[in-house]
Amino acid sequence: MTKQTALELKCKEVKAEILAMKEKIPSAIIFNALGRIFPKYSMGYWLSNIVLLNIIFISPWMLFGWLLGELDRTMLVFIPSIVCIELVIFGAVAAHLAIQIMLSDLANQIVVKVSDAEDLSRFLVWLKTSLSFRKLFAFVLPFCLLWVILGAGGMSIFLHGFVGIGLLLTVILVGLLAGIVFHAPIWTSTMVTSLKEYQYDVNPMFPADSKIINDISEMLRKGIYILASVFAVISFISSSSILPLQLRIGFSLPVVLFGWIVITAQFMFTRSTIEKIINDTKWEMLNAIQAEIQSVKMKGDLSGKESSEKILRLADIHKKIVESKTNSYNAETLSTLISQLMLPLIGFLLGHLDTLYGLFTKP
């Protein structure tokens, strides 16, 4: 079996494994279980998930609140709590779809451009480990603990007393799903960072113009737009009059700033990976040219026509590769970043539309 044949077989194997993982990741297992009576990704599938998740989250609060007589007191935080639950469910759906899209892109576009069978094996192992239940809950459980401390603790201060068993259980359940949501951008960042460690089929003369560079950029662009859209919705809700004024003041602007930080970080990780792939390819080619020039120098008389012409040709290629672009920042990528950053800001401004209207119409 030739090396190329072995690579092609490994590529097919890894591609099939990644596509199969789309149904095995934790979010897929949850959504498929709750929406199993409907065709996958149909309207009924998503409505079933949304309704059942709401029931799962709210039931402990209502049941224990009624049994223990806690409902009347906790109704003071009913609207903010319901809004938080709906935002977490929305974020979970968006995070799930984003990871599904990325896994498809990894299988159909990225993996087929990896040029080393061992790299394919290493990447598949990393992917399975990073999306395993064990790895996920190593992040989700501490996150949920912090969520409970801040959420239940904050509401206890507002209510001037313990929130009660029912609402506490609701906060814990919501915190577990919220942990899965927040894990998605962290996983995306580590995934795109890991891509710089592998060898790809890249244009040796002008690596920045290779298809794999465009594919990685496009894959992450879609993911960041989904992330920015989530922050836009959260910014809008946290800024709107549906929430008490104290919460609007305390959360609306920090949500926008946090969204900007996450979006910018994702953008920077993507650019760093792309530049590393381009640089590695350039230096691999430059080193090969330098070795060839050294070989000509050792074998023949440099004053000879054939030797001198070969060295000049190699030097010309060397110069063109050195001068080829390495920096992946350009007008298009920067305009994309700005448009992504604008989404949370637009949500923030729409949420404060009544305030802005008052400012512009004030005599």
pLDDT tens digits, 328-350: 666 777 888 888 888 888 887 77
Range with the poorest average pLDDT among 29-33, 88-92, 231-235: 231-235
Helical ranges in the chain per DSSP H: 3-21, 26-34, 43-67, 71-74, 78-105, 117-130, 133-159, 165-194, 211-239, 245-299, 305-323, 331-351, 353-361
Higher per-residue pLDDT: 128 or 286: 128
What is the per-residue pLDDT across 36-53, written as a single tens digit (0 to 9) for each?
Answer: 999 988 999 999 999 999
Q: What is the C-alpha to C-alpha distance for residues 203 and 208, in angstroms, rounded to an integer?
A: 8
Tokens of 202: 């890249």
The per-residue pLDDT for 19 is 92
Residue 333 buriedness (CB in 10 A; 0-12 / 13-18 / 19+): middle
Instruction: Give the confidence band of 234 by pLDDT, cuts at 50, 70, 90.
Output: confident
Answer whether residue 142 shows pLDDT above 90.
yes
Q: What is the C-alpha to C-alpha distance for residues 288 and 28, in angstroms, rounded to an integer?
A: 46
Q: Which residues contact 187 (CB under 8 A, 6 or more apart)?
A: 99, 130, 131
Instruction: Give the confidence band of 145 by pLDDT, cuts at 50, 70, 90.
Output: very high
The per-residue pLDDT for 350 is 79
Query: What count of Cα atoms within 13 Å lies in the side-chain half-sphere of residue 185?
Result: 24
Answer whether residue 281 shows pLDDT above 60.
yes
Instruction: Give the confidence band of 282 by pLDDT, cuts at 50, 70, 90.
Output: confident
Query: What count of Cα atoms within 13 Å lies in the side-chain half-sphere of residue 270?
Result: 27
